A = this chain, B = another copy of it.
Amino acid sequence: MDNRAIGVFDSGVGGLTAVRRLHEIMPNEDIIYFGDTGRVPYGTRSPETILKYARQDVRFLRKFDIKAIVIACNTVSAVALETVAAETDVPIIGVVWPACAKALSATRTGRIGVIGTQATVRSGVYARMLTAARPGLSVHMQACPLFVPLAENGRVHRGDIVPETLAREYLAPIQAAGVDTLILACTHYPLLSEVIADVMGPDVTLIDSGAAAAESVRGMLIPAGDRAGDTRYFVSDDPEGFNRLAPGFLNGPLSHPAERVDISDY
């Protein structure tokens, strides 16, 4: 048994979709969550800036007695995972490969769609990983730059013409490609899954990358003993906004209100 905590970080509140799944499937684990709310979003920034921010996020989590770090952010996982993993002395789990593995199990036709931030799509890492694992796959990527602001402003519901119009536009080329599996390669996007599913139709399987990463963690880490795990939350801006948005991502209340940390010290 390994009672050390699991560190999880994201650019902001989106990574809580991974924490939610960790709570469901590994309720004994202590979790330390960091959300970089003072510098969110990451997905529109350059690879150098994303790497710099990711290194600071890892250094902050290394202050705690942790057994692994989950990068619950597709942008960081796509752009900086290998570099920070090589520099860090605990296992680092990203969301990209777990999401790919789930998509490879789900697809019947070999046509897979991937939607994410501009940085994730530009990195090309999803297409490389999927086709390396199974040559001949047809992978279709599409950036959805307004989905993160929509999720952060609660504009995610069926019947709202704003997310519905943008989802129809962004997803049109993915639909035209006839995919049967769609990776939501941004931890904010599961909040829009109702609207996305309406556009894609019932025959397309949606893959939640944060949940996939959480399931991958369970298969990999020595678990904590039989007890109730505790989760602490840290953010780099005033915790008020995070505390207000978090229950929607966690699908339940925060166990503790978030604490503030100055990430530029790391």
Contacts and interface: CB of A to CB of B under 8 A. Distances in A.
Contacts of A155: 146
Of the four ranges (under 10, 10 to 19, 20 to 34, 35 or more), the interface on chain A belongs to 20 to 34
How many copies of this chain does one complex carry?
2
Which of A46, A240, A241 has most chain B Cβ within 10 Å? Answer: A46
Nearest to A262: B52
A88 interface: no
A188 to B, nearest CB: 13
B44 A241 contact: yes
A161 B165 CA distance: 8
Contacts of A161: 161, 165
A59 interface: no
Interface string A234-266: 001110110000000000000000000000100
Interface of A: 37-39, 44-49, 145-146, 149-150, 152-153, 155, 161-162, 165-166, 236-238, 240-241, 264
Given A146-B149, A162-B162, 15 more contacts: A37-B45, A38-B49, A45-B237, A46-B237, A46-B238, A46-B241, A47-B238, A49-B236, A49-B238, A145-B149, A145-B153, A146-B153, A146-B162, A149-B149, A162-B166
